[in-house]
Structure 1
């Protein structure tokens, strides 16, 4: 596991004096519980139709979420311990992988907006992480990332993520069991964000972009 913060993308500093939402940032920055979560349903019919061709629904969801996160600038905004606020040009994905010995480990992968390229990298990544001896063995210490997980056993209606504290502004997303009925397939999708950097309209835009990617399979 890497122990130093690594810059994995081009970073643009944000001036709090000129940022159009600086008052919102300052308002929520010192909240003791600044995170909020939204759960909705997304349609995965086209993705599931490609399962017979060998497309992994999990990797397909990873790709769609990665597309959405990188399409909405506010989901790439981060604040730092020194008080600076930055926007990454792109962010990678840290996602859970079941281990051969039980439990899970974290994997890290840069996002590429080309599914075939992303798919090949994800399959190799998952195969490598399955044998991890430590949950953090393949993690990446960076804030140019979002944390992703899947609960395929549950068709949940709400979800709350574990967060170290109010200074953590990295988005967390999880999706549930895929439900097929009347020729359609959908699933619950949960997004948890820090209100100092992300408002409801940005989460709405994120969900829309994720659905667009899912509809593209």
Structure 2
């Protein structure tokens, strides 16, 4: 899907003052870590023949697309919104324990997205190097899963000083207790574009969707 970029009018934008404050006066980002119950969606995905990672990438991207504040980027000096994001994630190489970055075009139809995901995994899983799939689109955001560790906190750090207003999402290893699967999810965002309420609202929607996969996993 080709992304649409809608410019933001800074003169009328309601977050103008906050954007200035958190980029110029006190540059700030924050991370929220939440344990989510994935039991219903995990079981439904397996029953439907989907790999859970594909469903995870799809659902996160779908929910992000419902909140414009998570799709803000800067083209040159122009700030604006994308209409959707593209998940950029890593594949793990068992032979040398390295990772390579790939991406899959988002599609609102889970079956189509899953098919694209399977094609990308098949084509690029054996290609080593930092970037396995080239030509990453401009609306790509970083989302990954660490299946080896159930963490309490995960905070990605950027050292290049460049503005990045898109979210960074990381999931950890789920734990099974009393027949329930609980998975940690870390959500990092620049404070210039979003506040705690926005991220809290995202996690509320996420848990509701995970509890009722019959509403969206078809």
Q: How far off its partner does 1:13 sit? A: 0.3
Name structure 2 gaps, 5 residues minimum.
none
Q: How far off its partner does 1:159 sit? A: 0.6
2:67 to 69, 72, 97: 72
Q: Deviations over 1:31-80 (max 9, x none)?
A: 67522110001110112213255321211211111111111111011124
2:192 maps to 1:196? yes
Q: Secondary structure at the match of 2:12?
A: coil
Q: How far off its partner does 1:201 sit? A: 1.5
Residues in 2 aligned to 1:113 and 1:153: alpha-carbon distance in whole angstroms = 29
| TM-score, structure 1 as length reference | 0.88
1:116 to 106, 111, 116: 111
Relative to structure 1, the CA distance from residue 117 to residue 142 in structure 2 (aligned partners, 3 Å threshold; closer, same or farther) is closer
Residue-pair matches, total:
210
Residues in 2 aligned to 1:37 and 1:145: alpha-carbon distance in whole angstroms = 19
What root-mean-square deviation, in Å, do the aligned CA atoms of Structure 1 and Structure 2 show? 2.0
Specify the alignment match of 1:14 in structure 2: 8
Contact 1:67 1:213 in 2 (8 A): no
Q: How far off its partner does 1:166 sit? A: 4.8
Matched ranges for 1:139-150 at <5 A: 139-150=134-145
Specify the alignment match of 1:28 in structure 2: 22
Residues in 2 aligned to 1:89 and 1:155: alpha-carbon distance in whole angstroms = 32
Relative to structure 1, the CA distance from residue 31 to residue 135 in structure 2 (aligned partners, 3 Å threshold; closer, same or farther) is farther
Specify the alignment match of 1:214 in structure 2: 210
Q: Secondary structure at the match of 2:65?
A: helix
Q: How far off its partner does 1:109 sit? A: 1.4
Specify the alignment match of 1:172 in structure 2: 168
